[in-house]
Amino acid sequence: MMKVDLRFGVLAVVLWLPATLASAQWDASAQEGTSTTATTAPDPPPAPSDQMVSTTPQPAVQQPEEKQGLEVGFTWGLSIGVPIILDVPRENVRPGANINFFGGADFGFFVIGGDAGLQWNPIDLNGVNVGGTILSGRSPLTRIYLSLPEVRFQVPDLKVVLPYITGSFDMNFWNFQETQVGCGYWYCSQYSVYRFTPGFTGKAGLGFEVKGGVYIDAGFQYSFTGKGNFFGESGWWLAPYVGVLVRRR
């Protein structure tokens, strides 16, 4: 009985010993030089310089600006003036009236356009001696004119006022009591004769804005006329005026 137990004990020792050795081989804590601390993977090598991505923000690509054309508007005005002819006898040549229309292309700081108008100056003939004949009564000296071109320089960026100066070449057509009779196939009629003189006009004015590009216009006009086909000598006159000026941009 003792022999059987001894054999059984030897067999148990033989089976237990290999299992213990195997367990020791797989236990990381029983091995010398081993560590249970977690490790991180090494950093990858840097990319080649031609493949590296820059983190610096690149400036936005600016599109070329489109060239804007010259902005053109339209300016027109209507005014009434009082022409006062200079270097004439005041008892005979009276201040008169002038109706003027202006229109032109508005480029901002300058305007290119033209004028058209009609002017009267009363001439008092009482006591005037012409070739031994004493004249009487009053008749108008009439001028029909076209000013072309007129160039106007202005300051358009002011909020309330619009100062300007102008210069123009005048084509004047004058009449004073001169008539002719013209006959057609069936009848004859009398008509006024207008004679041409060249001239020049300069203006200086100031527009006071009322609303949305509409101005009260006031200024002075200084005009010159050559002798032409009407006068015996050149003449000058001054005309203060007031009117309405409209700018459309």
Domain for residue 56, yes or no? no
What residues form DSSP beta bridges with 226? none
Q: Which two tokens stand for residue 190?
A: 């009398």
Mean pLDDT of the chain: 82
- In the structure encoding, which two tokens stand for residue 74, read together? 């339209």
Q: What is the pTM of this model?
A: 0.69
Specify the amino acid at residue 11: L
Computed on alpha carbons and rounded to an integer, the radius of gyration of the chain in Å comes to 53
Question: In total, how many domains does the chain have?
Answer: 1
How many H-runs (helices) and E-runs (strands) does the chain carry?
Answer: 1, 13
What is the pLDDT at residue 49? 55
Assess if residue 219 is contained within a domain: yes
| Cα–Cα distance for residue pair 154/247, rounded to 1 Å | 12
Q: Which of 236, 228, 168, 152 is nearest to 200 (CA)?
A: 168
Most confident of 34-43, 63-72, 142-151, 185-194: 142-151
Mean pLDDT value across residues 31-47: 54
Question: How confident is the model at residue 30, as a pLDDT?
Answer: 45
**Residue 196: inside a domain, yes or no?**
yes
Backbone angles phi, psi at 51, to 5 degrees: -110, 0
pLDDT band at 247 (very low <50, low <70, confident <90, very high): very high
What is the CB-side half-sphere exposure of residue 195 using CA atoms within 13 A? Answer: 15
pLDDT in tens, 4-15: 455 556 656 555
**Count of C-beta atoms within a 10 Å radius of residue 150:** 20
Question: Residues in the chain, how many?
Answer: 249
Sign, CA torsion 73/81/165/195: positive
Q: Does 115 score more than 90 pLDDT? A: yes
Mean pLDDT, residues 182-205 taken together:
92
Quote the CA–CA distance of 208 and 97 in Å, as a whole number: 23
Q: Is 61 contained in some domain?
A: no
pLDDT score for 130: 63
pLDDT at residue 53, as a whole number: 53
CA dihedral 222, 226, 231, 232 (to 10 degrees): 120
**CA 161-167-172 angle, 5° bins:** 125
Residue 45, domain member (yes or no): no
- The per-residue pLDDT for range 47-104, each reduced to its tens digit, is 555 555 555 566 666 666 665 667 889 999 999 999 999 989 888 899 999 999 999 9
Could you tell me the CATH number of the domain that includes residue 215?
A: 2.40.160.20
CB neighbour list of residue 12: distance below 8 Å, 6 or more residues apart: none
Q: 208 in a domain, yes or no? A: yes
Q: Which of 158, 249, 166, 164 is nearest to 209 (CA)?
A: 158
- For residue 203, being part of any structural domain is answered with yes
The residue segments making up the domain with residue 122 are: 74-248
Least confident segment among 38-52, 151-165, 166-180, 227-241: 38-52
Residue 11 domain flag: no
Lowest mean pLDDT among 35-39, 209-213, 233-237, 244-248: 35-39
